[in-house]
């Protein structure tokens, strides 16, 4: 059987509820050696989707959370000094290529610019990763797949993917789930009753629709799950929502207090 054949996974997959055709599209990209770009707001399920697909495809997953100081060297690897002299240690990207894993670069636009340059030869028909410091040129096996993600809401002139980079990827757009599906996700993930899950989703909908409080980001499904888990542990709704959601959305005490009034309105209705 081909290494790329999609087989039934013998163990439970990480839970994920599709909103469209993202699963067959991802599988098709995997079969044909195409890298994938996931676009969407924080907390909408991008990382969970990648975890689900890696398990579904039965491939190891190497995840890198990108940040301002992440360099190409961090991804490729470096020489270290030991008792017997220097030796090479692969970075996560090189390791993923060698082992035929799925490599997921989360929030790739947060990384330094030199990181995207090293992806170019890996994301076209060459599918190779040059490592200048060792003189190697790794050829990606068919099982290897590169997945990157970013939040377009944070995209700025100095923090965006160049068109020459974006056009190398199959792009899948994600958004917050529709209300019924999001309530089902929150109920399952948080272990709460359906009515409480629906109220949390109603709260999130109200906050996402309001421009009054100038929030940097709308509450994602991840925050609803966090608040729900606290409620399942016996924490009162207002307190669970305050520490699980509101404090994560703003540092302004006045804004947090005003958002708390919305929480009261939703849970006392």
**Which among 89, 119, 90, 114 has a CA at the least distance from the CA of 104?**
119
Instruction: Write out 16-35 in H/E/C secondary structure.
Output: CCCCCCHHHHHHHHHHCCCC
Instruction: Report whether 185 contacts 221 (CB < 8 A).
Output: yes
Residue pLDDT tens, the chain, 269 long: 334 544 444 467 888 989 899 999 999 999 999 999 999 988 899 999 999 999 999 999 999 999 988 999 999 999 899 888 898 999 999 999 999 999 999 999 888 888 888 999 999 999 999 999 899 999 999 999 999 999 887 655 446 778 888 899 999 999 999 999 999 999 999 999 999 999 999 999 988 887 666 777 889 999 999 999 999 999 999 999 999 999 999 899 998 998 999 999 999 85
Strand partners, 93: none
Q: Is 96 helix (H, G, I), strand (E, B) or coil?
A: helix
The pTM for the full model equals 0.85
- In the chain the beta strands, taken as DSSP E runs, fall at 36-39, 61-65, 77-82, 85-90, 102-106, 128-131, 136-139, 145-150, 170-173
């Amino acid at each position: 059987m081909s290494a790329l054949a999609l087989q039934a996974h013998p163990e439970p997959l990480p839970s994920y509820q599709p909103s469209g055709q993202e699963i067959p599209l991802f599988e098709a990209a995997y079969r044909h050696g195409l890298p994938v770009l996931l676009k969407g707001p924080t907390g909408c399920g991008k990382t969970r989707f990648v975890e689900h697909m890696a398990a579904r495809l039965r491939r190891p997953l190497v995840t890198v959370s990108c940040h301002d100081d992440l360099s190409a060297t961090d991804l490729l690897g470096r020489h270290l000094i030991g008792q017997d002299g220097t030796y090479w240690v692969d970075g996560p990207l090189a390791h993923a290529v060698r082992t035929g894993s799925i490599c997921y670069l989360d929030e790739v636009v947060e990384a330094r610019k030199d990181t995207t340059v090293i992806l170019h030869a890996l994301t076209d028909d060459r599918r190779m990763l040059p490592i200048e410091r060792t003189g190697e040129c790794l050829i990606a096996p068919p099982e290897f797949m590169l997945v990157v993600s970013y939040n377009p809401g944070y995209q700025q002139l100095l923090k965006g993917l160049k068109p020459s980079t974006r056009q190398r990827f199959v792009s899948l757009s994600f958004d917050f789930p529709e209300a019924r599906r999001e309530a089902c996700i929150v109920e399952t993930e948080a272990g709460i009753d359906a009515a409480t899950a629906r109220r949390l989703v109603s709260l999130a909908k109200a906050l996402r629709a309001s421009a009054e409080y100038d929030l940097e980001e709308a509450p994602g499904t991840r925050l609803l799950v966090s608040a729900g888990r606290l409620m399942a542990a016996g924490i009162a709704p207002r307190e669970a929502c305050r520490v699980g959601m509101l404090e994560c959305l703003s540092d302004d005490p006045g804004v947090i207090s005003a958002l708390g009034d919305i929480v009261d309105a939703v849970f006392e209705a």
